Structures are given as C-alpha cells and as structure tokens.
Chain A
Amino acid sequence: MAQAVLKIDITEGFEGALPIAVIPFQWHGSVKVPNGDVSAIVMSDLARSGKFSPVAEKDLIARPQKLADVHYKTWRIAGMDHIVIGSVTKQTDGTYQVQFRLIDILKAKQVLGYNFTATDKTLRSVAHQISDYIFTQITGLPGAFSSRIAYVTLKRDKKTYKSRLQVSDTDGYNPQTLLTSDEPIMSPAWSPDGSQLAYVSFESGQAEIFTHNIRTGVRKSRSKSKGLNGSPAWSPDGKKLVMTLSKDGNPDIYVLNLADNKLQRVTNHWSIDTEAVWLPDGKSIIYTSSRSGKPQLYKQSVIAKSKPERLTYEGGYNASASVSADGKSVAYVHGEGNIYRIAVLELATKSSRILTDGPLDESPVYAPNNSMILFASQEKRQAVLAAVSVDGRQKQRLAFTDGEVREPSWAAVRY
C-alpha cells in the first residue's frame, strides 16, 4: 500500500472536542496489514476533524470486543460519550470482513453498526467510510474523510523546476500524480461530483485551463486565449467554469459553458478582477477586485446584469475567497502590513474573524462538511499545508516530505 507523502500533525487544540474511545479492532485470521490498521485510521480521522478528542490507546480504561462486554457505568464515570468497537476478519478468499459498532454510553446502546468487505487495497478507504458514518451520526454533518484532496507540489532549485498535480486520500495516503510539468501548474479545483479537476498549466508556454478526468486520465483544453487563463472554478451543477481571462485587455471574469463552449463576460473593468468562486445557488459569484485601489472581495450575479456588491472593508488586502457548502461563510486571505492570514466572513452579518497567525497563509478552501479550512502556509522556509477548524481553535499541519506543497482542493465526494 502506498505510503503517505503528507505527514499530518495536530499542532493546537482539542478544547471543546467530544470525547470518544476507539477500541483497537481485533484481527482474526491475520496480522494487521501495514498501513491498514482500521481502528487507528478511524481514530486519526476523528482527531483531525477537530470535533473529536479520541482517547490515546494507552489511556483506555477497558478494551471490550463485543457489545455485551461494554460496562456503560464505567465509561460514564470516565466521562466518555461514545465508544467504537469492531473487528477485522480474514476470509478464505483473502478478503476482509470489517465490522464496527458505535455505542452511545449515555443511551447505553448501540446507535450504529455496519459490516464491510475489504481487500488489502481498500482497507484504508473502508476505514475512512467508518469515520464518515461515525462523524455524521454524532455531529449531523456529512463526513468528508473518504473523499479526496488535490494539491500541487514543487521541487525546484536554481536549475530545475518540477511541478506535479497530485491527488490523494484526505489523510495524504495513496498519492497519485495526475500531471508532471517543467512549468507551473496552478489552481486545481474539483468538479462537484469529484470526477474531474480543472487547473491551469503553463506546459505549452502560456497559461491554459484544462479539465482532467481523474479516473480515465482524459483531459481537455478549455481555454487558451491570449493573456491570462486562470482561476477556474466549477459551477455547483458542474456544467460551467468561471475563470479569469485578459484577452479583452484587462483581467476580467468570464463564465464558460462546457457543453457548447459559449463564453459569457461577467465583469468589464480596468482593474484586476480574478479568483471567482460560486455561491451554492449557482446564480452569484464572489471574486477579488482591485477596483477600489486595493484587492477586496465582491459579490455579483452571473444571471442578471448587476452591480458588484463590496463585501470586505477591513485591511488593505482581502482576496482568494472560498465559500462554505452552506453558502453562509467565506474564507479568504486577509493581508495587513506584511502579514497574510486566513479569515472568515459571515455573509449574513458581514462580520469577520481572523483564524490563523500567518505570515504567509494563502489558498484557503473549505472541507466539504464546513468543519475545517485547509490552506497553504510557510513554515520555517518550507511550504506546507495546514488546516484550521472553523472556530479557529484547532490547527494541524500537513507537511509534504519531499519539496513544497501548495494550493489544496478538497473534493465534496469520492468519485
């Protein structure tokens, strides 16, 4: 099984997280598969979400294997809300039967239980599915552990430049390279169904927007006009791409209909307009514009001709928006002086809060369940990915073991 190239450490937080005990699953008929330790994967997923505080294995007060072995009173006294038990059994055909039960200690009963069949190759994804089930049952939010993330890596020095577009599991395992280039690759964005990525590649000697099916490997050039071809983002129905083009003189926002290649111009202004993203209704976009002199965020309809509505006023640099799946909040880069941090704006109240410390945080993107924001950060001269819970209380870093990593994008679902 492929090793993780991303190493994820939780660096801050736990406060307010829900206590849960994941009892190490018993393995029958097999030793643990390397990198396939199901209960350890579930534990680490839940911890990474920022919503849970799993008990360390060495601190477990008991290790029940069956429902009948669970002493509810003991767990209640220990302050535990939920425990997870399960097993992995090797079948004669070489597959594994994976079973888990989620037990609510206060209700003193099992609230969830599933059986899965897995192979050596799919054990990790089954574990992520279990994490999703547990996460959804307890928080009411959709789980996002079994989808995928995409990111761009870069190895460079004075002489060489090698960029890669990578796709991996959300915990950094099973990395696969979709594209390798001696020229920049930028701005990967998932299609809503998780089947395709749109991105910018300079491989032909100019900026060009591609869409790339991650399963078939088939890719299509979508825009190669004179000047900028940047910032692609899929409409919520997956039928359009909003993008930045400068073919008409200035960087402006356009919408490309993928079925008939019809291009609709949204903005027409001498300033820089770029980094457009969709609101979930598919009718409006939020983008960065320097029309006030400095980059600020604006909202505008793509359906009706309308004036842009300015969203940000504090500070001289507010850019690169990412909209939460419920359409209520916007994560963005907030620059003041030489410090660039990730902030969140509530669209209803127009109130904003700063979540990270900087100094060079960028490319924020919401996890599909809105619980976390993934972003790119500079740490001791190394470009890393980091994540922060939306309340700002929990932080983690995802360091790439070999070069720089940047521009994360988190698929809503696993295709």
Chain B
Amino acid sequence: MKKLFFISVLALSIAGCGERIKPDDETTGDSNLDDAGAGATAGGINAGTGVGGTALEGGKLVSYEENAINDPNNVLSEKIVYFSYDSNSVSDDYVELVKHHGKYLSFNANASVRLEGHADERGTREYNVALAERRAQSVKQLMLYEGAGNDQISIISYGEEKPVAFGHDDESMSLNRRVEIVYQ
C-alpha cells in the first residue's frame, strides 16, 4: 500500500539515518547542496493524490494529503520560519518544517505557495527588502530540494513594512524576522 510505504520513508528521514540521495536534477535544477534533501524526495515518485500518513513529529501529525495544510494537528499548520538578525539562512530549528512544506508541494502538484519575506525594523528600508527577499529565497531553495516545482513557489519581499509585532524590544523584532508560507 502506498500509504505504508510512505510512512516508512518519513521515519527514516526524521531519524536522520536514511541513506542520503542526491536530489533529482529535474526538480531542483541546482545541486550545490548535495546533502540538503535527506532521502525523502525518493518517496515522491508518484507525486499527487492520496499520499498520507500517521507519523508523529513533536506531537504533530506528518502527512501530505491535500487538506493537510488546513489541519491544526499537522506539522504543516506551522507556516512561519523565523530568522536571526541580519541572517538569511534557515536555522536548524526550521529546516525540517521547510522540508515538510517542500514535500507537500512535491506531492500536491496543484498546490502553490507565496513566500513572504520580512525583516525587523533595524537598518534601512530598502536594504531590508533585499535581505527579506534573500530569506524567502533560502526557504524556496530548501523546498526545491524536497521536490517542489519552481513554478509552485512565488516570492514577495516586504522588508520591514509589515511587522506582526509592534514593539521595539528584542522579542518583537525576532517575531518580525520571518518568512510566511502562504498557500494560494
């Protein structure tokens, strides 16, 4: 059964002991980061309908069924990636989350996301727009390694123009340094 097969692949990927497989050139177009996709893309041969599972990660369900993004109990319900100050690399805390979304896109060819890049208020406005675009591009790159298609992902950068937290303290600023994954 397709379902069971898929769960086993996931388990490998989460445990981090799966054999590393070079991402499929056709879906990524870039192979600079050979070790970015930890095996899971192999499960995506039959991308599309009915792929699901019941694996748990951090108390949340891991599955890539079409409506999984609307399930508050699914890992995919987390749709914000946070960044360090002046950094555009996806931190270890968020790599798995981004990969799950990348896999969801690879299994659901009709799905598409807009990645909205944001920065905190420090620094200049236009530089922050550029920085936040790079954050969104980092997220996109990781998703591509998981088999998402280039045309499934669009990017917009708002820089510091659309904060979610209005304070000027460290906590507010850390909430504002983010990429929002918005399903279309």
Task: Name A's B-contacting residues (CB within 8 A).
Answer: 161, 184, 186-187, 202, 205-207, 227-228, 230-231, 244, 246, 251, 272, 274-275, 288, 294-295, 317, 319-320, 333, 335, 338, 340, 360, 362-363, 378, 381, 406-407
Does B78 have its Cβ within 8 Å of any Cβ on chain A? no
Check if A184 sits within 8 Å of B130, measured CB to CB. no
Give Cα A231–Cα B125 distance, bound, in whole angstroms.
9
A255 to B: closest C-beta gap in Å: 16
A407-B156 contact given A244-B130, A272-B130, A274-B130, CB 8 Å threshold? no
16 further A-B pairs in the complex, CB-CB below 8 A; given A184-B162, A244-B130, A333-B123: A186-B125, A202-B156, A207-B156, A246-B130, A251-B130, A275-B124, A275-B127, A288-B127, A295-B127, A333-B124, A338-B122, A360-B122, A363-B124, A363-B125, A406-B125, A407-B125
The verdict on A320 contacting B130 (CB below 8 Å), with A186-B161, A207-B157, A335-B122 known, is no
- Convert B73-116 into 0s and 1s, putting 1 for each residue whose CB lies closer than 8 angstroms to a CB of A: 00000000000001000000000000000000000000000000
B171 to chain A, nearest CB (A): 14
Given A161-B162, A187-B125, A362-B124, verify A378-B168 contact (CB < 8 Å): yes
- How many whole Å from B162's CB to the nearest CB in chain A? 7
Output the least CB separation between B163 and chain A (Å). 9
CA distance A161 to B162 in the complex (A): 9
7 A/B residue pairs, CB under 8 Å, sorted by A = A205-B156, A206-B156, A227-B155, A274-B126, A274-B130, A362-B125, A378-B168
B146 near A: Cβ within 8 Å? no
Partner pick for B123 among A244, A251, A319, CB 8 A cutoff: A319
The answer on a CB contact under 8 Å between A228 and B168 is no
Residues of B contacting A360 with CB < 8 Å? 121-122, 168
> By the criterion CB–CB under 8 Å, are B158 and A320 in contact?
no
Looking at the assembled complex, report how far the CB atom of A272 sits from the nearest CB atom of chain B, in whole angstroms.
4
Question: Any chain A CB within 8 A of the CB of B134?
Answer: yes
A335:B133 contact, CB within 8 angstroms: no
**Assuming A207-B157, A272-B134, is B121 touching A320 (CB within 8 A)?**
no
B40 within 8 A of A: no
Question: Which chain B residue shows the least CB distance to A187?
Answer: B126
Which residues of B are at the interface with A, using a C-beta cutoff of 8 A?
86, 121-127, 129-131, 133-134, 155-159, 161-162, 168
Q: How far is the CA of A172 from the CA of B99 in the complex (A)?
A: 51
* A340-B156 CB under 8 A given contacts A228-B129, A272-B134, A360-B168: no
CB-based contact B124/A288 at 8 Å: yes
Q: Which residues of B contact A407 (CB under 8 A)?
A: 125
- Complex Cα–Cα for A362 and B127 (A): 11
The chain B residue with its CB closest to the CB of A249 is B137
The winner among B122, B131, B155 for most chain A CB atoms within 10 A is B122
Tell me how far the C-beta of A217 lies from the nearest C-beta in chain B, rounded to whole angstroms: 24
Task: Determine the residue in chain B with the shortest Cβ distance to A316.
Answer: B86
- In the complex, what residues of A have CB within 8 A of residue B125's CB? 186-187, 320, 362-363, 406-407
Whether the Cβ atoms of B133 and A227 lie closer than 8 Å is yes
A329 to B39, CA, bound (A): 56
The residue on A at minimum CB distance from B125 is A186
Most buried by A among B125, B155, B168: B125
A205, A207, A319, A381: the one contacting B127 at CB < 8 Å is A319
Q: Which residues of B contact A338 (CB under 8 A)?
A: 122
The interface residues of chain B lying within 8 Å CB-to-CB of A406 are 125
List, in ascending order, chain A residues with CB within 8 A of B156's CB.
Answer: 202, 205-207
* Chain B residue with the shortest CB-CB distance to A319: B124
Partner of A335, one of B123, B130, B155, B162: B123
How distant is the Cα of A274 from the Cα of B132 in the complex, in angstroms? 13
A275 and B158 in contact, given A378-B168, A381-B168 (Cβ under 8 angstroms): no
Query: Measured between alpha carbons, how far is A406 from B159 in the docked complex, in Å?
Result: 15
Closest Cβ of chain A to B180, distance in Å, is 14
Shortest B67–chain A CB gap in Å is 25
Tell me, in angstroms, the Cα distance from A276 to B65 when the chains sit together: 47
A contact residues around B124 at 8 Å (CB): 275, 288, 295, 319-320, 333, 362-363
Taking the closest CB of chain B, its distance from the CB of A28, in whole angstroms, is 50
Tell me the bound Cα distance from A20 to B123 in angstroms. Answer: 40
Query: Least Cβ distance of A317 to chain B in Å?
Result: 6
Q: Is the CB of A231 within 8 A of B133?
A: no
